[in-house]
Amino acid sequence: MTRLIRQSGRLPALIASILLLVIIVVVAASVPEDRIPARRWGLLLEAAGAYGIVVFLSVGTLATSIGLPRQLVAFIGGLAYGLLPGLALSLMAALSGCHLTVQVSRRLLRHRVERRYPAFIERLSRLLRHDTFVKVLILRLQPLGTNLLTNLCIGFTDVSYRKFLLASGIGYIPQMLVFVLLGAGVRVGEETQGLISGLLVLISVFLGVGLYLQHKQRQKKAILDSSD
């Protein structure tokens, strides 16, 4: 695996991304509960019942649609609602935000961008035309991905929207689960949640790298087959 990663030419960036995200997780897990402002938000949402859920979904959707971290939404979801409900609600908010951004991009920005940068749109469409699911999944699994930019670019293309949303939902889960665990850990006071979160970070990153390398190998094979 290490040899293949080096061959991809992305080892330094990958190491930096892993270290940064692990540091964030460790720091978040070690901060005292009374020093976390988000904890108060979580407690207020939990106390508000059904109204709090509506507020959480609405604010989470708007926040992720403009590029604010879905990890923060997941953390607050874990604080307010615990592990599984927090994951489900934060994932719903993140996907709704993703949908909102794509629709705004497709309906309000696409024609302007197509007129001004036709060559760019053509290259982008050609890039995403094949293996859409795998390519989007790889982007979503990376620890420091450009979520807003990805959503905007998808709105400029005619790629399968179903594949895009499915890949986004699956790719969101590992990292969002990390921060839901951190939030739920603060909520119930379980220190082992930090260790589980760090392990999930590594699994998420290496899964993304593995998919990327498999995709590159398929591309090379296709080029060789077409040249025969």
pLDDT 10s digit of each residue in the chain, 228 long?
444 334 444 545 545 555 555 555 555 545 444 545 666 777 788 888 888 899 999 999 999 999 888 988 998 899 889 889 999 999 999 999 999 999 999 988 888 888 888 888 888 888 787 778 888 887 887 766 678 888 998 999 888 888 999 999 998 988 888 888 888 876 545 555 555 556 666 666 676 666 667 667 766 776 666 665
211-218 own/partner pairs: CB under 8 Å, 24+ apart = 211/134, 211/137, 211/138, 211/141, 212/8, 212/138, 213/4, 213/5, 213/8, 214/134, 215/131, 215/134, 215/135, 215/138, 216/8, 218/131
Domain ranges of the chain: 2-227
What pLDDT does 102 receive?
93
pTM equals 0.72
- Distance CA(111)–CA(188), nearest Å, equals 50
